[in-house]
Amino acid sequence: MPTTLPLRHVLLALAVVAVWGTNFVVIKIALEHLPPLLLATLRFTFAAFPLVFLLPRPPVPLRQLAAYGLLIGAGQFGLLFIAMKADISPGLASLVIQAQVFFTIGLALLLGGERIRPFQLVALAVATAGFAIIGVHADGATTVFGLALVLIAAFCWAAGNIVQRRSGPVNMLAYVVWASLFCIPPLAAASLLLEGWPAIVTGLERADVATWGSVLWQSVGNTMFGYGAWGFLLARYASASVAPMALLVPVFGMTASAWWLDESLPAWKIEAALLVLTGLALNLLWPRLKPWVLAAAR
């Protein structure tokens, strides 16, 4: 499988991570009018329809689609949206959610018998130091409760990764579309139970063009374009050449939040971001960099 991406596919990968990163700002815009669980319900409704009528169901058991839908829809995005309503800034949310990388490693270790490697422990320690800095500096914009919710959302994302990995090679866009069907009912029920019918009606009445544009952007941009294009690249190039691009998601997220929402970037945020990104990069790139480092040390 090729390891070098031509310029047009490098630009495509950058477009995907830019969409995924800036989406945290888009979420915040939608949350100005919509309750978080209602927003999650609408996101996955538009992600499922009408594509579910156009894409064949992936050849995997329904229980796997249901598990993935519940973990990603209700678990990851439901909790993330609740946290982003008032308990964590979009920029930090885009960074903290990347803890899913280490949760995925831990679940693979526990459930799949995989061995954890020393460099992964070092990477985890470095990233954890970054998360600790965020926790220490919790304030009005970012609370310990919000940080905890996003970490739980990251764990749900990691569990969803394990479910998807066990499904084997599939069309990821079709997989996400069909799995979305299973998270719509519990999200809608939770919105009705926890947020209440008056809040739902008020949110829909207050929703403006920017709100509906934000909902559609998450469905069309993140799901249809994002998963479709990312799956296209992973099917044609070695994952080691494509996956590192995802390190730019929190970079786009924090930059967009600072530019669009005037989120402050004090020194502690930059320090935390550098530690988390260093941990992620070490975990992802060390197997490729190790031979060079050892050769340079001789």
Asked if the structure places residue 124 within a domain, the reply is no
* Strand, coil or helix: 263: coil
Residue 69: give the domain boundaries: 7-105+138-260
Give the residue from 27, 8, 61, 38 showing the smallest Cα distance to 203: 38
pLDDT tens by residue, 202-225: 999 999 999 999 999 989 888 888
Asked if the structure places residue 284 within a domain, the reply is no
Question: How much is the average pLDDT of 240-261?
Answer: 84
User: Comparing 140 with 103, which gets the higher pLDDT?
Assistant: 103
Percent of the chain with pLDDT over 90: 49
Asked whether the whole model's pTM tops 0.85, one would answer yes
Asked if the structure places residue 224 within a domain, the reply is yes
Domain count along the chain = 1
- Model confidence at 56, in pLDDT bands (50, 70, 90)? very high
Min mean pLDDT across 20-29, 36-45, 217-226 is at: 217-226
- Indicate if the pLDDT at residue 3 is higher than 70: no
| Geometric angle at alpha carbon 151, from 148 and 157, rounded to 5° | 145
Asked if the structure places residue 88 within a domain, the reply is yes
Asked if the structure places residue 122 within a domain, the reply is no
Asked if the structure places residue 179 within a domain, the reply is yes
